[in-house]
């Protein structure tokens, strides 16, 4: 299934994208695509619904983040060897973990705000993993059983705040609008191998990132298992799993960063596309 949320900010309704690309309203069956709705039994219940029995949504409504009420937005740094190289950083021996504040979460086509005074706002296309079951001290061999599905994340980053202002990476990762998520939450039955997905990102029509999830250093089961040793993961938590090379910071001989008035387009095979305009905060 391709689950999504549509409608004005703060008033999103649950939806489903059917095989013909028609947006269907799931409001009669669930209150939101969030929390307990992402549990295996609930997803099976939704999958049993005939999409043609659901009301078609007219027009072209705003698409919200594909998961509502995200509890934790956990991110992994330097999880692609070639991205670590372009960043002049060593390949990590263990996953590098940081957070995006949930106030960063926006829809896949919402504007991205360049923070006031920022000179180094950057882009990162990433595979998002959405948790569906409570996970604590999970074995790697069992880890995918705790995953509800996958989505596209743009891990927008302010490099000066992240790397040059003291403290942890979180400072440059969690600014408002720095977490476009969606358009869809694609359930695991549609993505048999999350480690074989092409991913890309363009700015103003120029392709900067071309990668594939097969080059992750730590794969999805490893990440879910690892994180579950340090925190209990809950349904609706999102893990953003790192980015391939081609970020603005790594461009030679001169880094390239975002400014207001630009357009980012990005996507992952089977998970849909995002498009954001950049605006001044």
Q: List pLDDT tens digits, range 173-226.
A: 999 999 999 999 999 999 999 999 999 999 999 999 999 999 999 999 999 999
Helix intervals (H) in the chain: 40-47, 81-86, 159-163, 170-173, 220-227
One DSSP character per residue, 55-114 reads PBPPS-PPB--SSSS-S-EEEEES-BHHHHHHTT-PPPSS-EEEE--GGGEE-TTS-EEE
Any residues with CB less than 8 A from the CB of 172 and at least 6 apart, and which? Answer: 157, 158, 159, 160, 161, 162, 163, 165
Question: Residue 81: its pLDDT value, please?
Answer: 83
Residue 199 CA to residue 34 CA, distance in Å, equals 25
46-77 confidence digits (pLDDT tens): 999 999 999 999 999 999 999 999 999 999 99
126-139 confidence digits (pLDDT tens): 999 999 999 999 99
The class that CATH gives domain 73-280 is: alpha beta
Residue 128 CA to residue 109 CA, distance in Å, equals 16
Task: Give the mean pLDDT of 259-271.
Answer: 98
What's the predicted TM-score (pTM) here? Answer: 0.97
31-49 confidence digits (pLDDT tens): 999 999 999 999 999 999 9
CA distances, 271 to each of 66, 150, 184, 188 (Å):
11, 7, 7, 11
Residue 110 CA to residue 119 CA, distance in Å, equals 21
* Ranges in the chain annotated CATH 3.90.850.10: 73-280
Residue 180 host element (H or E): strand 179-180
């Amino acid at each position: 299934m391709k689950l999504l949320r549509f409608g004005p900010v703060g008033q999103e309704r649950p939806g489903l994208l059917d095989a013909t690309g028609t947006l269907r309203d799931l409001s009669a069956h669930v209150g939101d695509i969030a929390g307990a709705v992402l549990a295996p039994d609930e997803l099976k219940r939704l999958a049993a619904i005939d999409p043609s029995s659901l009301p078609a949504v007219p027009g072209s409504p705003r698409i919200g983040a594909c998961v509502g009420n995200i509890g934790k937005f956990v991110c992994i740094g330097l999880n692609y060897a070639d991205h670590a190289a372009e960043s002049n950083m060593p390949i990590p021996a263990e996953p590098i973990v940081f957070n995006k504040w949930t106030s960063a979460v926006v829809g896949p086509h919402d504007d991205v705000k360049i923070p006031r005074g920022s000179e180094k706002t950057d882009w990162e296309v990433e595979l998002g993993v959405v948790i569906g079951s409570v996970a604590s001290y999970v074995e790697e061999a069992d880890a995918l059983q705790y995953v509800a599905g996958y989505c596209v994340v743009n891990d927008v980053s302010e490099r000066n705040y992240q790397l040059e202002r003291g403290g942890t990476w979180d400072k440059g990762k969690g600014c408002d609008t720095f977490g476009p998520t969606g358009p869809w939450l694609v359930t695991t039955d549609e993505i048999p191998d999350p480690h074989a997905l092409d991913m890309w990102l363009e700015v103003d029509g120029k392709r900067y990132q071309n990668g594939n999830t097969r080059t992750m250093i730590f794969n999805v089961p490893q990440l879910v298992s690892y994180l579950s040793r340090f925190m209990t993961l809950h349904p609706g938590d999102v893990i953003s799993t790192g980015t391939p090379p081609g970020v603005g910071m790594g461009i030679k001989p001169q880094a390239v960063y975002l400014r207001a008035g630009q357009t980012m387009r990005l996507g992952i095979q089977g998970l849909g596309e995002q498009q954001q305009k950049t605006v001044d905060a």
